[in-house]
């Protein structure tokens, strides 16, 4: 077929570009996995005992959370953090179920629970957090999603991070509580292990860019209040906070010992919406922070590099998606000669190493460290997740692109809950 | 004093424990298995591909007329020799066949998107089916421009397969070196993976050539993109998962290897 | 043709087989539980002693009814035998019995115990004793060369002579005195920990001294040194080797990514975080928590922490303590802690 040589050259160049990008990510994941398995780990501050604990405010955004509200509140009431040094502000954000009544009941019974009910103004988690921060008394804000079940010592564990003058935020480890629910939750459990036990911890070890994840984490209130709070136009307020802090000289710590249960999505369509939302939000942050990251005077070269990798993590599937289309086009155009010779070796190696969103050996290593055994046999099933993520992350990316170009406002979508609620407790 | 009262150590929790790397085991296990296997493929791929082609010819020859099948060669890596592949006729699809395929594929796509929407397997199948749709459209409107006949595809496949044979030990080796196992286990795992890959490559080749020559050339693109290197990834990860699972089991019983 | 069909089938089997082990695990659910998180876990530096006492709490009534030399079988994580030790003639230790002392006790030199010891009153361990774990509801005294395998916890004051090995944890509800030299430890806890042979320790400073300085709320970056006798008011984060010269004062917390050195008579009113090694010179004061990812060396007459508060000294690698040191709170090293 006759096509202009430039088009062919571009298609080939894009193909090689995809391979190179995959190799770079593969190297990064290899370094992280190796570091986590074989190198001395940098400890978090979990052993610090300090009688001068800061006053903390726990914020819990809630939209129609009657199924899970009891769980998180009961868990926080069991906390060993001194009662006079913390308050809980559950944020009833436009709920239409029994959330309001549940919160009012807790407020009557417990003096340090002060619900905030929102029925007007901007919707969504960032707006809710901003509003709640205005009434928060704590110098440290700790955020939990409504489906979380914090342990007794978790608040103390997270608060010790802020003794370090450089720390702007801290992030703990999220562990699914409903692992055995179904096939999806079992796969998510594997992925979470890889993401936290290896990826986040390695980034912390290597003094790179651990990410604040928006829940099981905390930040200094004055940092947010001083910069007008969270940007309500961005869905991924957690990623935005991470980059805002790092670019202005603050650090995010990752606390692998600060573990907390969460409810993983139990339906594929819920997971699809969640991942598309994360992609959209993360890519919005990418568009806004790429240049700020490069220009930041507070970050080393390696931090900037890792920051770039992290910013582009939700763009990788998009690149691969177009890489797939590109290779299909090259196939039909009889331009597969780049598969001859040694390029084929690169393509195959890179494609297979990064064939999954997170390399299989990273997930495997994480589960070995966690002491898990038979669940590792589910790894081959993650291969199909690659296509799942490819599709929905690409969708999220294009939504983010449209948001940025047209200044469209994203509508916040809450993740559906599956827990069966017992009166006054949880199952 | 008895061992028990001397026990000072607290069991390390999963949060910050790690394993001290046994450099000798890793070096012996990984590099001394990857390098020979890769060199074997690099220096002997002409012989390997010749064997594959001959074996395939032997398997397929009963279903073809005499002298239809032949073994050809073409250049591959400059200093290492040519690759050998099977030359065979492909089956060009008739217009009825193309339209029937297109119809079934579109119905399947419709069903997948409306009935079983968001599942990983659905999306994988959808992508595969879309590739097939492209192929069908190609054959409908510009069949004379379809770039490959069965022989050319055979050449393409063999070259791809050499790359797979070369890279499988490397990828499994990279994965295995993250696990604290002795070098014998590493060798066995990497070698087993290489053997699985070798056999898989051959049976896949036979299956593909059979389909292209006896069913239709139209399936070429789907076969290439859906059952290509992506599928190799599956057995590789499966073999790794066996090893990782057994390693995790061993580490659970031998807690003394962990460091803090 | 059969061979072709066989190859095609083998191809299909080899594609499907990698899913089979995972499918079996899905069906059997052998390893489908959540990763276990101990939800009631809280940090407690006296965890060993307190949890041991809690385990015996239900049986104390029965234990108090025992006469010397009598045994009692109780159910803990497994069946355990408890013996009431004799005050004047301590029972020869056997390996499988928890020993209770209801009166003041002096253990003869070279005594050994392979199980826990619980003393309701004072306990003094003679030279070269080797004890697995000791809980004391009053004061404790360890003579030279005593080796604690696991932990020791006292409600009263615990005094330790030279050449002792304090095991994994040595804690006291009131005071811990390491008066000898050459002691080894991993964790220490007490509201007041005194290290060194002298009776007179430098007085704690008065925290009202801080009020004369203005408030700070910012961070200064990449400072290399603080000059002698100067006062620096702000938090510091530095990626350079950091030296605080003689008699300087820092009002704020410090984070150093490289080695850090405090010369003599330095005061830091805040926390100190060091990513590498920290050397604290003689007569220094740090009011807050000290966290070191490398090694810590502390000179003589140093005060860490603040009276009436609990602070921490956490060190990833080794600690060496000089003489005349006072620490208010918790000391932990993942390496080896030593007094000279």
B138 touching chain C per CB within 8 A: no
Average pLDDT over residues B208-233: 87
Mutation test of the interface with chain B: which of A175, A205, A344, A366, choosing the one with the most B Cβ atoms within 10 A?
A344
Q: Which two tokens stand for residue B121?
A: 């397997």
Q: Cβ separation of A40 and B245 shorter than 8 Å?
A: no
C317 touching chain B per CB within 8 A: no
Please answer whether residues C278 and C294 qualify as being in contact, where contact means their C-beta atoms are separated by less than 8 angstroms: yes
Q: How many residues does chain B have?
A: 260
Q: Which of A56, A110, A59, A111 is closest to A85 using CA atoms?
A: A56
Q: Cβ separation of C43 and A298 shorter than 8 Å?
A: no
Instruction: Tell me: pLDDT of A353 over 80.
Output: no
- State how far residue C96 is from chain B, nearest Cα, in angstroms: 10
Using one digit for the tens of pLDDT, what is the confidence trace for A179-227? 999 999 999 999 999 999 999 999 999 999 999 999 899 999 999 888 7
Chains that touch A (3 or more CB pairs under 8 A): B, C
Which pLDDT value is given to residue A322? 86
Instruction: Tell me: pLDDT of A354 over 80.
Output: no
Q: Cβ separation of B248 and A376 shorter than 8 Å?
A: yes
Using one digit for the tens of pLDDT, what is the confidence trace for A369-407? 999 999 999 999 988 788 888 889 998 998 888 888 887
C18 touching chain B per CB within 8 A: yes
Name C262's Cβ contacts closer than 8 Å, sequence gap at least 6. C244, C268, C278, C279, C280, C281, C284, C286
Q: Which two tokens stand for residue B27?
A: 């070096």
Backbone dihedral angles phi then psi of residue C336, each to the nearest 5 degrees: -125, 130
Average pLDDT over residues B214-232: 86
User: Which residue has tokens 């409810």?
Assistant: A263
Q: Mean pLDDT in chain A?
A: 87
Residue C193, SS3? strand
C19 touching chain B per CB within 8 A: yes
Q: Cβ separation of C18 and B8 shorter than 8 Å?
A: no
Could you tell me what percentage of chain C is helix, strand and coil, using 3-state DSSP and rounding each to the nearest 5? 15, 40, 45
Mutation test of the interface with chain B: which of C1, C2, C4, C337, choosing the one with the most B Cβ atoms within 10 A?
C4
Using one digit for the tens of pLDDT, what is the confidence trace for A79-95? 999 999 999 999 998 89
* Cα diameter, chain B: 88
Residue C339 burial (CB < 10 Å; 0-12/13-18/19+)? buried
Q: Mean pLDDT in chain B?
A: 87
pLDDT band, very low/low/confident/very high, at B78 (cuts 50, 70, 90):
confident
- State how far residue B186 is from chain A, nearest Cα, in angstroms: 15
**Chain B residues close to C334, C-beta within 8 Å:** 260
Q: How far apart are CA B165 and CA B78, in angstroms?
A: 18
Instruction: Tell me: pLDDT of B72 over 50.
Output: yes
Chains that touch C (3 or more CB pairs under 8 A): A, B
Which pLDDT value is given to residue A399? 87
> Cα C285 to chain center, whole Å?
21
Using one digit for the tens of pLDDT, what is the confidence trace for C238-247? 999 999 999 9
Q: Cβ separation of B18 and A382 shorter than 8 Å?
A: no
pLDDT band, very low/low/confident/very high, at B259 (cuts 50, 70, 90):
confident
Q: What angle do CA A395, A400, A402 make, to 5 degrees?
A: 95
Q: Which two tokens stand for residue C324?
A: 């005349």
Nearest CB to A334: which of B16, B147, B238?
B147
- State how far residue B59 is from chain C, nearest Cα, in angstroms: 6
Instruction: Tell me: pLDDT of A342 over 60.
Output: no
State the pairing for strand pair C235-238/C254-256: parallel
Q: Which of A89, A78, A75, A69 is closest to A138 using CA atoms?
A: A89
Q: Report the residue of chain A nearest B78, measured CA to CA.
A: A341
ipTM of this predicted structure: 0.89
- What is this structure's pTM? 0.90
Q: Which of A133, A299, A207, A166 is closest to C218 using CA atoms?
A: A166
- State how far residue A399 is from chain C, nearest Cα, in angstroms: 34
**Chain B residues close to C18, C-beta within 8 Å:** 234-235, 237-238
Instruction: Tell me: pLDDT of C233 over 80.
Output: yes
Name C239's Cβ contacts closer than 8 Å, sequence gap at least 6. C221, C222, C257, C258
B253 touching chain A per CB within 8 A: no
Q: Mean pLDDT in chain C?
A: 89
Nearest CB to A373: which of B121, B245, B259?
B245
**Chain C residues close to A178, C-beta within 8 Å:** 34
B120 touching chain C per CB within 8 A: no
Mutation test of the interface with chain C: which of B8, B69, B205, choosing the one with the most C Cβ atoms within 10 A?
B8
Q: Cβ separation of A347 and B163 shorter than 8 Å?
A: yes
Which pLDDT value is given to residue C77? 73
State the Cα torsion B246-B249-B251-B252 to the nearest 10°. Answer: 170
Q: Cβ separation of A165 and C37 shorter than 8 Å?
A: no
Chains that touch B (3 or more CB pairs under 8 A): A, C
**Chain C residues close to B8, C-beta within 8 Å:** 149-150, 167-168
Which pLDDT value is given to residue B5? 40
Q: Cβ separation of A331 and B225 shorter than 8 Å?
A: yes
Q: Cβ separation of A360 and B224 shorter than 8 Å?
A: no
State the Cα torsion C310-C313-C314-C317 to the nearest 10°. Answer: -160
Average pLDDT over residues A409-420: 64
Mutation test of the interface with chain C: which of A39, A41, A47, choosing the one with the most C Cβ atoms within 10 A?
A47
Q: How many CB atoms lie within 10 A of CB C272?
A: 29
pLDDT band, very low/low/confident/very high, at A3 (cuts 50, 70, 90):
low
**Chain B residues close to A37, C-beta within 8 Å:** 18-19, 21, 178-180
Please answer whether residues A221 and A267 qualify as being in contact, where contact means their C-beta atoms are separated by less than 8 angstroms: no
Q: Report the residue of chain A nearest B169, measured CA to CA.
A: A349
State the pairing for strand pair A167-176/A217-220: antiparallel
Instruction: Tell me: pLDDT of A357 over 60.
Output: no
Q: How many CB atoms lie within 10 A of CB C141?
A: 19
Q: Which of A211, A183, A240, A147 is closest to A388 using CA atoms?
A: A183
Q: Cβ separation of A151 and C311 shorter than 8 Å?
A: no
- State how far residue A336 is from chain B, nearest Cα, in angstroms: 8
C23 touching chain B per CB within 8 A: no
| Residues facing residue B70 across a β-bridge | B87
Please answer whether residues A80 and C44 qualify as being in contact, where contact means their C-beta atoms are separated by less than 8 angstroms: no
The listed range with the strongest mean pLDDT (A277-281, B165-169, C269-273) is C269-273
Nearest CB to C43: which of A153, A176, A249?
A153
| Residues facing residue C134 across a β-bridge | C117, C152
C168 touching chain B per CB within 8 A: yes
- State how far residue B41 is from chain C, nearest Cα, in angstroms: 22
Average pLDDT over residues A250-273: 93
Q: Which two tokens stand for residue C212?
A: 């004369």
Q: Which of A282, A271, A270 is closest to A389 using CA atoms?
A: A271
Using one digit for the tens of pLDDT, what is the confidence trace for A36-76? 999 999 989 999 999 998 999 999 999 999 988 999 999 99
Name A147's Cβ contacts closer than 8 Å, sequence gap at least 6. A65, A68, A71, A72, A262, A263, A417, A419
Q: How far apart are CA A14 and CA A321, in angstroms?
A: 12
Tell me yes or no: is domain A56-273 CATH 3.30.70.860.
no
Name B29's Cβ contacts closer than 8 Å, sequence gap at least 6. B176, B177, B181, B182, B183, B184, B185, B186, B187, B190
Q: How far apart are CA A422 and CA A425, in angstroms?
A: 5
Using only the alpha carbons of chain B, give its radius of gyration: 24
Q: Residue ranges per domain, chain C?
A: 47-173, 207-339
Residue C69 burial (CB < 10 Å; 0-12/13-18/19+)? exposed
Please answer whether residues C196 and C178 qualify as being in contact, where contact means their C-beta atoms are separated by less than 8 angstroms: yes
- State how far residue A164 is from chain B, nearest Cα, in angstroms: 20
Please answer whether residues C340 and C297 qualify as being in contact, where contact means their C-beta atoms are separated by less than 8 angstroms: no
Q: Where are the alpha helices (DSSP H) in chain C?
A: 2-16, 20-28, 47-56, 60-64
Please answer whether residues C134 and B23 qualify as being in contact, where contact means their C-beta atoms are separated by less than 8 angstroms: no
Using one digit for the tens of pLDDT, what is the confidence trace for C110-159? 888 888 999 999 999 989 999 999 999 999 999 999 999 999 999 999 99
Instruction: Tell me: pLDDT of C200 over 60.
Output: no
Please answer whether residues C100 and C84 qualify as being in contact, where contact means their C-beta atoms are separated by less than 8 angstroms: yes
Please answer whether residues C100 and C135 qualify as being in contact, where contact means their C-beta atoms are separated by less than 8 angstroms: no
């Amino acid at each position: 077929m006759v096509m202009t040589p430039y088009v062919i050259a571009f298609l080939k160049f894009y193909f090689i570009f995809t391979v190179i990008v995959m190799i770079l990510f593969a190297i990064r994941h290899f370094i992280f996995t190796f570091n986590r398995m074989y190198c001395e780990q940098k400890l978090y501050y979990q052993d610090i005992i300090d009688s001068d604990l800061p006053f903390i405010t726990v914020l819990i955004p809630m939209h129609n959370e009657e199924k899970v509200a009891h769980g998180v509140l009961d868990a926080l009431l069991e906390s060993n953090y001194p009662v006079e040094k913390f308050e809980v502000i559950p944020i009833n954000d436009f709920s239409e179920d029994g959330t309001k009544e549940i919160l009012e009941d807790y407020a009557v019974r417990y003096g340090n629970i002060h619900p905030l009910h929102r029925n007007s103004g901007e919707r969504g988690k960032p707006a809710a957090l901003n509003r709640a921060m205005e009434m928060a008394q704590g110098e440290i804000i700790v955020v939990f999603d409504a489906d979380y079940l914090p342990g007794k010592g978790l608040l103390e564990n997270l608060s010790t991070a802020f003794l370090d003058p450089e720390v702007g935020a801290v992030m703990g480890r999220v562990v699914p509580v409903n692992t055995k629910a179904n096939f999806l939750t079992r796969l998510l459990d594997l992925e979470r292990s890889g993401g936290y036990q290896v990826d986040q911890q390695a980034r912390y070890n290597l003094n790179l860019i651990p990410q604040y994840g928006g829940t099981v984490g905390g930040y200094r209130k004055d940092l947010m209040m001083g910069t007008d709070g969270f940007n309500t136009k961005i869905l991924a307020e957690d990623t935005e906070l991470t980059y805002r802090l790092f670019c202005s000289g603050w650090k995010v710590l990752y606390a692998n010992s600060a573990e907390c249960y969460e409810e993983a999505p139990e339906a594929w369509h819920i997971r699809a919406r969640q991942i598309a939302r994360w992609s959209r939000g993360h890519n919005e942050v990418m568009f806004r922070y790429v240049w700020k990251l490069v220009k930041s005077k507070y970050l080393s070269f390696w931090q900037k590099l890792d920051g770039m990798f992290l910013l582009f993590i939700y763009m990788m599937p998009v690149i691969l998606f177009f890489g797939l289309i590109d290779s299909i086009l090259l196939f039909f155009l009889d331009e597969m000669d780049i598969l001859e010779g040694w390029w084929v070796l690169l393509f195959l190696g890179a494609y297979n190493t990064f064939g999954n969103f997170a390399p299989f050996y990273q997930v495997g290593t994480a589960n070995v460290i966690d002491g898990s055994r038979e669940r590792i046999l589910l790894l081959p099933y993650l291969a199909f997740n690659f296509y799942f993520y490819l599709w929905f992350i690409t969708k999220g990316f294009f939504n983010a692109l449209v948001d940025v170009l047209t200044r469209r406002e994203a509508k916040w979508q809450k993740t559906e809950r599956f827990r069966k609620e017992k009166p006054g407790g949880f199952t | 004093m008895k061992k028990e009262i001397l026990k000072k150590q607290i069991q390390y929790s999963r949060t910050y424990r790690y394993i001290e790397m046994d450099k000798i085991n890793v070096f012996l296990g990984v590099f001394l298995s990857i390098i020979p296997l890769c060199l074997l493929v690099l220096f002997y791929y002409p012989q390997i591909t010749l064997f594959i082609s001959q074996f395939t010819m032997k398997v397929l020859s009963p279903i073809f007329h005499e002298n239809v099948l032949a073994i050809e060669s073409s250049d591959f890596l400059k200093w290492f020799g040519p690759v050998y592949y099977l030359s065979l006729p492909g089956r060009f699809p008739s217009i009825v066949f193309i339209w029937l395929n297109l119809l079934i594929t579109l119905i399947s796509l419709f069903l997948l998107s409306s009935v079983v929407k968001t599942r990983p397997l659905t999306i994988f199948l959808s992508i595969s089916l879309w590739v097939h749709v492209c192929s069908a459209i190609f054959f409908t409107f510009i069949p004379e421009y379809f770039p490959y006949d069965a022989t050319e595809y055979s050449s393409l496949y063999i070259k791809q397969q050499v790359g797979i044979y070369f890279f499988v030990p490397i990828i499994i080796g990279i994965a295995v070196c993250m696990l604290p196992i002795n070098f014998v286990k590493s060798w066995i795992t990497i070698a087993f993976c290489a053997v699985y890959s070798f056999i898989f490559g051959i049976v896949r080749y036979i299956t593909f050539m059979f389909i292209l020559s006896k069913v239709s050339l139209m399936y070429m693109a789907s076969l290439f993109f859906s059952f290509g290197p992506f599928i190799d990834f599956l057995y590789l990860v499966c073999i790794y998962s066996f090893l990782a699972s057994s390693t995790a089991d061993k580490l659970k019983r031998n807690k003394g290897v962990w460091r803090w | 043709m059969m061979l072709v069909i066989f190859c095609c089938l083998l191809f299909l089997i080899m594609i499907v087989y990698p899913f089979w082990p995972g499918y079996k695990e899905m069906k059997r659910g052998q390893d489908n539980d959540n990763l276990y998180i101990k939800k009631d876990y809280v940090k407690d530096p006296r965890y060993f002693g307190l949890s041991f006492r809690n385990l015996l709490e239900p049986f104390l009534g029965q234990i108090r009814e025992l006469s010397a030399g009598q045994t009692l079988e109780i159910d803990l994580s497994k069946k355990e035998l408890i013996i009431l030790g004799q005050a004047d003639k301590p029972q020869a230790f056997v390996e499988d019995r928890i020993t209770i002392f209801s009166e003041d006790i002096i253990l003869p030199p070279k005594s050994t115990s392979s199980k826990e010891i619980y003393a309701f009153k004072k306990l003094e361990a003679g030279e070269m004793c080797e004890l697995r774990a000791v809980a004391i509801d009053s004061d404790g005294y360890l003579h030279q060369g005593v080796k604690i395998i696991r932990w020791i916890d006292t409600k009263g004051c615990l005094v330790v002579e030279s050449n002792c090995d304090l095991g994994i944890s040595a804690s006291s509800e009131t005071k811990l005195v390491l008066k000898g030299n050459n002691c080894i430890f991993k964790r220490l806890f007490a509201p007041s920990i005194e290290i060194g042979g002298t009776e007179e320790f430098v007085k704690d400073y008065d925290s009202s001294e801080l009020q004369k300085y203005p408030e700070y709320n910012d961070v200064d970056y990449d400072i290399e040194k603080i000059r002698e006798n100067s006062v620096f008011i702000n938090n510091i984060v530095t990626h350079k080797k950091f030296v605080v010269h003689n008699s300087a004062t820092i009002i704020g917390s410090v984070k150093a990514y490289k080695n850090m050195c405090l010369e003599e008579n330095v005061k830091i009113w805040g926390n100190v975080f060091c990513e590498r090694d920290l050397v604290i010179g003689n007569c220094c004061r740090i009011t807050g928590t000290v966290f070191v990812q490398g090694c810590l060396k502390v000179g003589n007459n140093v005060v860490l922490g603040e009276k009436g508060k609990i602070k921490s000294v956490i060190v990833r690698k080794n600690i060496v303590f000089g003489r005349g040191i006072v620490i208010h709170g918790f000391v932990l090293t993942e390496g080896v802690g030593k007094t000279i």
